[in-house]
Amino acid sequence: MSYELIEKLKKAIDSQTGQPQWESVGEVMEVGDGVARITGLRQAQSQELLTIETESGSRTALA
Protein backbone atom coordinates (compact mmCIF):
# COMPACT_ATOMS: atom_id res chain seq x y z
CA MET A 1 0.00 0.00 0.00
CA SER A 2 1.14 3.51 -0.65
CA TYR A 3 1.89 5.91 2.17
CA GLU A 4 -0.77 8.38 0.93
CA LEU A 5 -3.48 5.73 1.00
CA ILE A 6 -2.57 4.69 4.53
CA GLU A 7 -2.68 8.31 5.69
CA LYS A 8 -6.08 8.85 4.05
CA LEU A 9 -7.45 5.74 5.78
CA LYS A 10 -6.08 6.87 9.15
CA LYS A 11 -7.71 10.30 8.73
CA ALA A 12 -11.04 8.73 7.69
CA ILE A 13 -11.00 6.42 10.73
CA ASP A 14 -10.03 9.24 13.12
CA SER A 15 -12.82 11.48 11.79
CA GLN A 16 -15.58 8.97 12.62
CA THR A 17 -17.91 10.44 15.25
CA GLY A 18 -20.60 7.76 15.54
CA GLN A 19 -20.99 5.79 18.74
CA PRO A 20 -20.95 1.99 18.55
CA GLN A 21 -24.22 0.26 19.36
CA TRP A 22 -25.09 -3.33 20.22
CA GLU A 23 -27.54 -5.19 18.04
CA SER A 24 -29.08 -8.60 18.49
CA VAL A 25 -28.82 -10.60 15.30
CA GLY A 26 -30.75 -13.77 14.54
CA GLU A 27 -31.07 -16.08 11.58
CA VAL A 28 -34.25 -16.73 9.62
CA MET A 29 -34.67 -20.50 9.45
CA GLU A 30 -38.00 -20.83 7.66
CA VAL A 31 -40.62 -18.56 6.07
CA GLY A 32 -44.14 -19.48 5.02
CA ASP A 33 -47.72 -18.17 5.18
CA GLY A 34 -46.58 -14.85 6.68
CA VAL A 35 -44.69 -16.55 9.52
CA ALA A 36 -40.91 -16.50 9.91
CA ARG A 37 -39.05 -18.88 12.23
CA ILE A 38 -36.01 -17.03 13.60
CA THR A 39 -33.29 -18.39 15.87
CA GLY A 40 -30.63 -16.59 17.89
CA LEU A 41 -32.73 -13.82 19.44
CA ARG A 42 -32.61 -15.04 23.02
CA GLN A 43 -33.63 -11.70 24.54
CA ALA A 44 -36.66 -11.16 22.28
CA GLN A 45 -39.91 -11.23 24.24
CA SER A 46 -43.45 -12.09 23.27
CA GLN A 47 -45.25 -9.26 21.42
CA GLU A 48 -41.95 -7.39 20.83
CA LEU A 49 -41.51 -5.61 17.48
CA LEU A 50 -38.54 -6.86 15.49
CA THR A 51 -36.92 -5.41 12.38
CA ILE A 52 -36.07 -7.94 9.68
CA GLU A 53 -33.63 -6.79 7.00
CA THR A 54 -34.43 -8.18 3.54
CA GLU A 55 -33.04 -7.62 0.05
CA SER A 56 -36.01 -5.36 -0.69
CA GLY A 57 -35.74 -3.34 2.56
CA SER A 58 -36.63 -3.56 6.23
CA ARG A 59 -39.77 -5.27 7.52
CA THR A 60 -41.30 -4.97 10.98
CA ALA A 61 -42.47 -8.19 12.59
CA LEU A 62 -44.12 -9.18 15.87
CA ALA A 63 -42.31 -11.74 18.05
The predicted model scores a pTM of: 0.53
Burial environment of residue 38 by CB neighbours within 10 A (0 to 12, 13 to 18, 19 or more): middle
Structurally, how many domains does the chain consist of? 1
List the chain pLDDT tens, one digit each, 63 residues.
698 999 999 999 998 888 888 888 899 899 899 888 999 988 889 999 999 888 899 989 888
Which residues constitute the domain of residue 32? 27-63
Q: Do the domain assignments include residue 48?
A: yes
Q: Is residue 45 part of a domain?
A: yes
Q: Are 30 and 39 in contact (CB under 8 A)?
A: no
Alpha-carbon distance of 16 to 20, in angstroms, equals 11
